[in-house]
Chains A and B, each alone.
Chain A
Amino acid sequence: MWRFLGTRIAMGALTIWITTILVTLLIHAVPGDPVQIMYAQSQGTTPEQIEEVRRSLGLDRPIPVQYAMFIERLLHGDLGNTIRGGQPVLDVIMQRLPNTLILACAAMFIAVLIGVPIGFLAAYREGSVVDISLMVLAIAGISMPHFWLGLMLLFFFALELGWLPVSGSGPLNLILPALTLGLSNAAIFARLTRSSMIDVMSQDYVQTAFAKGLPKALVLRRHVLRAGLLPVVTMMGLQFAFMMGGAIVVENIFSWNGVGRMAVEAIFQRDYPIIQGFILTFSVVVVTVAIAIDALYAVLDPRIRRA
């Protein structure tokens, strides 16, 4: 077990490091100079003065040197300052990261809470009207784009009924964004759970359990559900990363103050330090979640635990 985790952590660290290199190369490949953007449209500064600002920000140095500077700061716990506004990147990210994590966790909770039972029911009633209806509903959910669903929920619950706020980052503001993210992902979980459960129920050991005369509820709970959840747990890890990224659209619609929206703005502004900081943070979170999922996977499946 510890060897298993140790290997995963080492691989995770390597992944994060490679990610920082790739991101540094990629963001500089995107056309557009951050200082030029900062001055565009609203400034009467000469090109010479723009170059002076670029020098003061270190942007005139070769990319490898800039990357080395980034790593050096990182080792001191410093992610640098934003190009626009000179704000400490770490502060900017840490003020928003909790919001994105809360949103992703809430959405995951909704997705699992709704999706797994629906999938289980559909599997149990395979081939019936219930099964077909639920899967059609799931397909509709998967097909529904976040921005459309988000706006529909917003207009219905906030504008028409007046039950929830339109925008902001308070507790009540969480409900609609989480529903938007969660419902579409619930559909994915429903379909996955259904196919997984159907597969498990066709296994010999399940047939044996039934043949032994065990109660149906006991067989389903102990033998089918637990085994069938293995791919669902795996999907949870993948979908969590997706939710972290997919939150960008939802954060934008509901004005949820998360890191996704911050990252999009930073990309448009070519604010390299924020982009690097965001990708680093995102990598850490995703790798951490992946390791946690692997550990949970090991708990659920004894064969992996012994590996």
Chain B
Amino acid sequence: MKLRRNSLRRLAGAAGIVAGLTSSAAAGDIVWARYGDIDSLDPHRATSTLSLQVWSLLYDTLLATDADGLPVPHFAKSWTSNEEGTEYTFSLQDGVMCHDGTPLDANDVKYTIDAAFSEETPSVTKGSWGPITSAEVIDPLTIKLTLEKPFVAMIPFLADSFSSIICDSNGDGFGTTTAIGSGPWKLVSWTKGDKIVLEKNPDYKNFGKLAENPGAPHEDGLIITVVPEPQARLAALKTGEVHIAEPPFDDVPSIKDSGELDIIVAENTGQNVFWEFAVHRPPFNDKRARLAVAHATDAAAAISLIYGDLSVQENCPVSRGVFGNDQDFCAQYRPGYDPEKSKALLAELGYSMDKPLETALLVWTGGNRQKLGEVFQAQLAEVGIKASIEIMDIGSLNARVRQENETTTGTTGSMDMMTWSWYDPDILYALWHTPGAYRGYTSPELDAMLDETRVLTDPDARKAKVQEVFKYLLENAIHVPLYTPGWEWVFAVRPEVDGFFVAPFVYPNFSDVKLGG
């Protein structure tokens, strides 16, 4: 009896020691694990989604995004513009504080914009701010932006975390070790490659961002940790080391069946996965060849097979959540699945089952895209298209696509499953306006339409022009949408986590989170 008591005491003591050493998070800390780290704490220095998600926690923006992906007032409680669309005046909320106790006001907005357009170190997103020529402080709660020419995409940009407002009290170490903002969370530390430790901003006020909670986060801390291995993330979720993480795709069905973890799928992500083609040489210099591929592709079936209900077919060149997206409109022009029509087009071009159209099929690694590629490969084979899959990292894919577009000789084609994400249809300008992001398809007609999408200030007129671009891209099979979302969009959440959700464009929200017992 005595021996048993001693053994139990030793065991309990050891367990306590292990638990104490193991736990790096306090009881009130939310732990979120992701596959990678941010690139910088400075919103002007990076473009990755991983960085944006953290900036959205640290900083405020002039505007916010509603559930449908549209910009709404936030730090800027209202704004006016002149008739030409070259001057915007924003009225700011009063009483918003930076994390260091200084007030957030028009001077900080000016500081942020001036930094974006500085000569020495301009923001890497300078182009997305638009042709701003000056940021003038009218008074502490009023700022006026002047543009060289109209750029209506600036308004949705000001709702995205690329436009995070940097407090002008930031000094040495900004972007590397310090980050003073006015968002719901304050930076405690960033151990590069490992984790970011945040604590709640007790003075936070939410005016327009999606959240039930109008003030400071409920929990005391948020730890964003890097766990590259999907199986390790799943294990950490099960042990309780992590509260929220993206699980391995192949485990999602079993997770759902067991009910052990909740599965939350982001919506209105703006992510668009699509076919694009090397159009400067045969066979895809011919519209019929591109249409043949489009008609041979049963995206809905392939997606259902590989992703289940985690993703859906997308009909538009910009995805759900982005201005102008209209599934019914795009369905009229998107070349749908029709293998007979595909075969007929191939026959016109001189191809047949015995003499197949040959093309490379470039696919980006990860996210089970290689499996999806194989399904598409099989679909194409059924109509007489011989696609050779080449799987590569995103860097090589980008280089390869451009290389293929710049190759004008040869008869073997090249097509790729490309992926882009943006909050505004202006992404189509970057992709398809001369010279094009990958030097692919361009035309004067398309350029003219894209130019207009940047200057039309009337929302209805702009939407009509944007959809005109959609029609052009779809009818000519230049940009054949496949599915949305496409990457890093599934979250597994432990049962004690309440209130977690993902806002449009994959911004997880933690202000509403409460950790139950």
A53 in contact (CB, < 8 A): yes
- Are A167's CB and B45's CB within 8 A? no
Binding site for A on B (CB under 8 A): 18, 21-22, 24, 33, 36, 38-40, 42, 45-49, 51-52, 121-122, 124-128, 153, 175-176, 191-195, 225-229, 231-233, 235-236, 238-239, 241-242, 393-396, 398-400, 402-403, 419-422, 424, 426-427, 429-430, 433, 435-437
A40 in contact (CB, < 8 A): yes
How far, in whole Å, are A42 and B322 apart by their CA atoms in the complex?
13
How far, in whole Å, are A31 and B422 apart by their CA atoms in the complex?
25
Q: Which of A42, A53, A167 contacts B49 (CB 8 A)?
A: A42
A154 in contact (CB, < 8 A): yes
A63-99 interface with B by 8 A CB criterion: 82, 84-88, 91-92, 95-96
How far, in whole Å, are A166 and B229 apart by their CA atoms in the complex?
11
Q: Which of A193-201, A209-217, A252-260, A278-286 forms contacts with chain B?
A: A252-260
Q: A56-B122, A257-B191 are in contact. Are A44 and B153 (CB under 8 A)?
A: yes
A191 in contact (CB, < 8 A): no
- Are B236's CB and A38's CB within 8 A? no
For B228, the closest partner residue in chain A by CB is: A252
Q: A43-B422, A159-B239 are in contact. Are A85 and B45 (CB under 8 A)?
A: yes
- Are A167's CB and B236's CB within 8 A? yes
For A45, the closest partner residue in chain B by CB is: B127
A302 in contact (CB, < 8 A): no
- Are B396's CB and A87's CB within 8 A? no
Q: Which of A46, A86, A257 contacts B193 (CB 8 A)?
A: A257
Query: 14 A-B contacts, Cβ less than 8 Å apart?
Result: A31-B403, A36-B402, A37-B398, A43-B47, A44-B429, A45-B125, A56-B122, A95-B193, A151-B231, A166-B227, A167-B232, A172-B22, A254-B232, A255-B225
- Are A257's CB and B194's CB within 8 A? yes
Q: Which of A31, A44, A166 contacts B396 (CB 8 A)?
A: A31
**With a CB–CB cut-off of 8 A, which chain A residues contact B121?**
56, 86
Known A87-B175, A168-B195; 9 more pairs at CB < 8 Å: A32-B399, A45-B128, A45-B430, A155-B235, A165-B241, A167-B33, A170-B24, A172-B18, A257-B226
- Are B40's CB and A87's CB within 8 A? yes
- Give the shortest distance, in Å, between A188 (CB) and chain B (any CB): 25
How far, in whole Å, are A255 and B241 apart by their CA atoms in the complex?
13
**With a CB–CB cut-off of 8 A, which chain A residues contact B226?**
255, 257
A163 in contact (CB, < 8 A): yes
A33 in contact (CB, < 8 A): yes
- Are B399's CB and A31's CB within 8 A? yes
- Give the shortest distance, in Å, between B464 (CB) and chain A (any CB): 20
- Are A36's CB and B399's CB within 8 A? yes
How far, in whole Å, are A257 and B228 apart by their CA atoms in the complex?
11
How far, in whole Å, are A254 and B18 apart by their CA atoms in the complex?
18
Q: Which of A11-19, A126-134, A262-270 forms contacts with chain B?
A: A262-270
**With a CB–CB cut-off of 8 A, which chain B residues contact A203?**
none
**With a CB–CB cut-off of 8 A, which chain B residues contact A270?**
395
- Are B399's CB and A33's CB within 8 A? yes
- Are B128's CB and A43's CB within 8 A? yes
A202 in contact (CB, < 8 A): no
Q: Which of B176, B239, B400, B419 contacts A88 (CB 8 A)?
A: B176
In the A-B complex, the 5 residue pairs with the smallest Cβ-Cβ separation, listed nearest first, are A85-B39, A85-B40, A32-B395, A31-B399, A257-B194
A38-61 interface with B by 8 A CB criterion: 38-47, 49, 52-53, 56
How far, in whole Å, are A169 and B51 apart by their CA atoms in the complex?
21
- Are A154's CB and B18's CB within 8 A? no
**With a CB–CB cut-off of 8 A, which chain B residues contact A255?**
194, 225-229, 232
- Give the shortest distance, in Å, between B274 (CB) and chain A (any CB): 12
Q: A95-B192, A254-B232 are in contact. Are A31 and B427 (CB under 8 A)?
A: no
- Are B232's CB and A86's CB within 8 A? no
Chain B proximity mask over A2-44: 1 for CB below 8 Å, otherwise 0 = 0000000000000000000000000000111110111111111
How far, in whole Å, are A168 and B396 apart by their CA atoms in the complex?
30
How far, in whole Å, are A40 and B124 apart by their CA atoms in the complex?
12
How far, in whole Å, are A13 and B5 apart by their CA atoms in the complex?
62
Counting chain A CB atoms within 10 Å of each CB, the highest count among B175, B235, B400 belongs to B235
For A37, the closest partner residue in chain B by CB is: B395
How far, in whole Å, are A166 and B239 apart by their CA atoms in the complex?
8
**With a CB–CB cut-off of 8 A, which chain A residues contact B42?**
85-86
- Are A44's CB and B430's CB within 8 A? yes
Q: Which of B48, B238, B398 contacts A33 (CB 8 A)?
A: B398
A158 in contact (CB, < 8 A): yes
**With a CB–CB cut-off of 8 A, which chain B residues contact A43?**
47, 125, 128, 422, 430
Q: A32-B395, A44-B429, A268-B395 are in contact. Are A87 and B125 (CB under 8 A)?
A: no
How far, in whole Å, are A47 and B442 apart by their CA atoms in the complex?
14
For A159, the closest partner residue in chain B by CB is: B235
- Give the shortest distance, in Å, between A287 (CB) and chain B (any CB): 25
A145 in contact (CB, < 8 A): no
- Are B225's CB and A167's CB within 8 A? yes
For A170, the closest partner residue in chain B by CB is: B24
**With a CB–CB cut-off of 8 A, which chain A residues contact B422?**
42-44
**With a CB–CB cut-off of 8 A, which chain B residues contact A62?**
none
Chain B proximity mask over A137-171: 1 for CB below 8 Å, otherwise 0 = 00000000000000100110011001111111111
- Are B435's CB and A49's CB within 8 A? no
**With a CB–CB cut-off of 8 A, which chain B residues contact A95?**
191-193
Q: A42-B420, A166-B239, A265-B36 are in contact. Are A84 and B400 (CB under 8 A)?
A: no
- Are B235's CB and A84's CB within 8 A? no
**With a CB–CB cut-off of 8 A, which chain B residues contact A31?**
395-396, 399-400, 403
- Give the shortest distance, in Å, between A59 (CB) and chain B (any CB): 13
- Are B193's CB and A38's CB within 8 A? no
- Are A163's CB and B18's CB within 8 A? yes
- Are B239's CB and A158's CB within 8 A? yes
For A262, the closest partner residue in chain B by CB is: B193
- Are A85's CB and B232's CB within 8 A? no
Q: Which of A52, A96, A163, A252 contacts B229 (CB 8 A)?
A: A252
- Are B398's CB and A82's CB within 8 A? no
- Are B192's CB and A96's CB within 8 A? yes
**With a CB–CB cut-off of 8 A, which chain B residues contact A30?**
395-396
How far, in whole Å, are A87 and B176 apart by their CA atoms in the complex?
6
Counting chain A CB atoms within 10 Å of each CB, the highest count among B51, B242, B433, B437 belongs to B437
A229-260 interface with B by 8 A CB criterion: 252-255, 257
- Are A168's CB and B24's CB within 8 A? yes
How far, in whole Å, are A255 and B18 apart by their CA atoms in the complex?
19
- Are B241's CB and A166's CB within 8 A? yes
- Are B127's CB and A41's CB within 8 A? no
**With a CB–CB cut-off of 8 A, which chain A residues contact B236?**
166-167
How far, in whole Å, are A262 and B39 apart by their CA atoms in the complex?
12
- Give the shortest distance, in Å, between A87 (CB) and chain B (any CB): 6
Q: Which of B18, B48, B126, B227 contacts A42 (CB 8 A)?
A: B48
- Give the shortest distance, in Å, between B130 (CB) and chain A (any CB): 10
Q: Which of A42, A164, A167 contacts B47 (CB 8 A)?
A: A42
For B195, the closest partner residue in chain A by CB is: A168
**With a CB–CB cut-off of 8 A, which chain A residues contact B400?**
31
**With a CB–CB cut-off of 8 A, which chain A residues contact B436?**
47
How far, in whole Å, are A167 and B230 apart by their CA atoms in the complex?
11
Q: Which of A32, A91, A154 contacts B232 (CB 8 A)?
A: A154
- Give the shortest distance, in Å, between A270 (CB) and chain B (any CB): 5
Q: A91-B176, A269-B395 are in contact. Are A44 and B128 (CB under 8 A)?
A: yes
